[in-house]
Amino acid sequence: MDGIELMATAMHAAKARLDVSADNLANVSSDGFHKRVARATLGPAGLIATSNPDPAPGPLRHTGRPFDLAAVGGTLAVRGRDGRAETLRSGSFARDDAGRLLDERGRMLLSARGAPVLAGPDASIDARGVVRDGTGRTVAQLKLPPGTTVQSGFLEGPNVDAVHEMVDVLDAQRAFETAQKTLSALDEERQKDANDVARVKS
Amino acid sequence: MNRALYASATGMAAQQQNLDVIADNLANADVMGFKNAQATFAQIGGDAFLGTAATGVRHVFSQGKLVRSGGPFDVAIDGAGFFALERAGERAYTRAGAFSRAADGTVRNADGWTLHGARIPPAATSVTVAADGLVSGTVNGKPATFGRLRLVDFAAPEKLRSLGSALFAATPAAGVPHGVAAGGDRQPKLVFGALEKSNVSIIESMMAILAAQRAYEANAKGVQAADEMLRIANNLHRS
């Protein structure tokens, strides 16, 4: 790989980093969003940027609604309309007419037995995921990995730090510019090599 | 490049929507029975980095403060539930309880919506509403009752559709309205001569405005950076 090709991959990598940061910034108000972290590595194919989700928890925000749930140190189990099982860190659930708890995308909250949780309007959910009705009777146990604490009345915000992302945006932009300048300099040199070095004096 | 440009643009649009909802909350902060709304957003496109989109507006039905009032037929709900209203065959639900008695015996609010459950003859005096909704008073010096105000509730009240100010319409997601008993232990109570203030917190709304504005600026920076990089890429070709 020559210098010009290498600088072209560096420009691609900077662009990929900007894509990641712009998406993180766009989701600065999306509850439960996990940002991705971009990393550029130099290999035989030049500079390649890859990104991975950042598992760090986002800040918990108090909402006061009993069916807003955040699973601290674990996940909640839900099943989508298409029957696909998923896990969530946090979700805003609402009862339907049958008493099932559905989140904003219509996914229902599951109990330890894998069945939908059925809750009355005055149901409460404690830290260990026990669902109780208004009289204090246990009606279900949420499906949780061991060691999970459930916070009722809280949602997990995005783990995006806007200032950090903005610095990354500027950094990616400058890295792109540097690669472009270097590429142009190399190109100019090559132009000289081609046109001037072998020139025969007349 | 375009992905970053468009992702940042969705971020700016999202904060604009967010600000619209906050401004509406602030505008209605003094409307009795108004409920604070929140715009919600979610990532779109997953790892394709397409940015964000609004998923809806969620009303927060926490209890507003009850205040004494001097209206002719003011009723507040202490607890969950809604008044069921009707106008020209249309149904609506509200927690704003500023009503007055009409000449035909119905009880209406200022916009002409009729309250379900009570008919009060014009001759009735010292009319009052008990905690369980029973409307009573005196007619020609004799005690009389005029029906019962019935509260309704929904499986998911936060999915109700706002009809502006403090009025809501039922939706399939909110569920079918069902009657709720009032007055007992752990049941909502009706308070005559009082109104429920909005549950909008001015301070929280102002803070939300600041946060939305900063997020808007950050996304604008993203648009600028993507644009600048496009310009740089175009300059690769020397003329």
- Does residue B171 sit at the A interface (CB-CB below 8 Å)? no
For chain B, give the longest Cα–Cα distance.
Answer: 100
- Mean pLDDT over A14-43 rounds to 92
Model confidence at A136, in pLDDT bands (50, 70, 90)? confident
Mean pLDDT of chain A: 90
Rounded CA-CA distance A51/B51 in Å is 15
- Which residues in chain B have Cβ-Cβ distances shorter than 8 Å to A63? 60
Task: Give the residue from A15, A17, A19 with the most B CB atoms within 10 Å of its CB, the best one to mutate.
Answer: A19
Is B27 in the A-facing interface, judged by CB distances under 8 Å?
Answer: no
pLDDT class of A202 with cuts at 50, 70, 90: low
List per-residue pLDDT tens for chain B, 239 residues long: 588 999 999 999 999 999 999 999 999 999 999 999 999 998 887 778 889 999 888 888 989 999 999 888 999 999 999 999 999 999 999 999 999 998 888 999 999 999 988 888 888 888 999 999 999 999 988 999 998 998 999 888 888 999 987 999 998 888 889 999 888 888 899 999 999 999 999 999 999 999 999 999 999 999 999 999 999 988 887 64
- Pick from B190, B97, B90: which is nearest to B148 by CA? B190
Give the pLDDT of residue B1: 54
- In this structure, are residues A157 and A60 in contact, taking their beta carbons and an 8 Å threshold? yes
Among A25, A92, A95, the residue with its CB nearest the CB of B8 is: A25
Residue A137 confidence (pLDDT) above 70: yes
Six-digit token pair at A184? Answer: 């142009």
Q: Report how far residue A116's alpha carbon sits from residue A77's, in angstroms, rounded to the nearest whole number.
A: 10
Crossing angle of helices B202-234 and A162-192, rounded to 10°: 10
CB within 8 Å of chain B, chain A residues 173-202? 173, 176-177, 180, 183-184, 187
What pLDDT score was predicted for residue B3? 87
Segment A4-19 mean pLDDT: 94
Asked whether the beta carbons of A150 and A70 are under 8 A apart, the reply is: yes
Least confident of A73-77, A197-201, B8-12, B42-46: A197-201
Cβ count within 10 A of residue A44: 6
**Which residues in chain B have Cβ-Cβ distances shorter than 8 Å to A22?**
3-5, 7-8, 11, 49, 51, 219, 222, 225-226
Mean pLDDT of A157-181: 93
SS3 A175: helix
Best of B2, B19, B43, B214 to disrupt the A interface (most A CBs within 10 Å) is B43
Q: Alpha-carbon distance B84 to B91, whole Å?
A: 7
Q: Is A19 within 8 Å of chain B by CB?
A: yes
Out of B42, B158, B175, the one facing A30 most closely (by C-beta) is B42
CB < 8 Å from B in window 42-61 of A: 51
Q: Which of B60, B155, B229 sits opposite A65 (nearest CB)?
A: B60
Residues in chain B within 8 Å Cβ distance of A173: 225, 228-229
Rounded CA-CA distance A26/B11 in Å is 4
Query: CA–CA separation, A46 vs A187, rounded Å?
Result: 18
pLDDT of residue B175: 85
The ipTM is: 0.77
| Mean pLDDT, residues A108-131 | 91
